[in-house]
A = this chain, B = another copy of it.
């Protein structure tokens, strides 16, 4: 018997500060089968971010063009900036058997789920909203106003997590949560709908 697998699309969501970025990075580092989909965004690069590696940084006019070309699997506005997942990029990777990680918000996730019901979706929760605010404050990169807006968004996102398949609470340090995420990924590699089984004898 032989099993061949097609790529899995993994949606990772959760409030800003819940730690989905860290868990996603650990997954990309420790599981060669995964790659990141490079999104397009209208927000300014943060220090250290590399264009076309972290994001395709585009202006509003170009973003509108891409919408017009139906180039997005999903797009959404988060904290006043626009983010879009390039459909061609994702589909191409999946076809070649790569697993693709999408770090997107709840609105975008809903669109991807509707278009690709076979996607695997995981919602990352913070231990508490108090802890979440502390993490955002500790970052030191955002004003109080931005933090308040992120907290309001966080409550809204958590209220909509029922559309996800899996949920996990990301307690610090993230190693235990990563093992849980890894078990989801390893299990989903065994999902029959992504496998072609050859009966060989």
Q: Is the CB of A166 within 8 A of B190?
A: yes
Mask: chain A, 160-174; 1 = CB below 8 Å from B; 0 = not: 011011111100000
Q: Does A180 contact B (CB under 8 A)?
A: yes
The 8 Å CB contact of A192, one of B167, B182, B193, is B167
Mask: chain A, 114-141; 1 = CB below 8 Å from B; 0 = not: 0000000011011111100000000000
Assuming the contacts A1-B126, A123-B192, A128-B1, asked whether A187 and B166 have C-beta atoms less than 8 A apart, the reply is yes
Q: Is the CB of A129 within 8 A of B201?
A: yes
In the bound complex, residues from chain B placing their C-beta under 8 Å from that of A123 are 192
| A161 and B3 alpha carbons, distance in the complex (Å) | 13
In the bound complex, residues from chain B placing their C-beta under 8 Å from that of A166 are 187, 190-192
| A4 and B165 alpha carbons, distance in the complex (Å) | 15
Residue of B nearest to A159 (CB): B199
| A122 and B191 alpha carbons, distance in the complex (Å) | 9
Q: Does A184 contact B (CB under 8 A)?
A: yes
Q: Is the CB of A197 within 8 A of B161?
A: yes
Q: Does A49 contact B (CB under 8 A)?
A: no
Q: Is the CB of B126 within 8 A of A167?
A: no
Q: Does A22 contact B (CB under 8 A)?
A: no
In the bound complex, residues from chain B placing their C-beta under 8 Å from that of A3 are 167, 169
Q: Is the CB of A183 within 8 A of B186?
A: yes
Residue of B nearest to A130 (CB): B201
Q: Does A188 contact B (CB under 8 A)?
A: yes
9 contacts between A and B (CB under 8 A): A1-B169, A123-B192, A128-B200, A130-B201, A161-B192, A161-B197, A167-B195, A184-B187, A187-B188
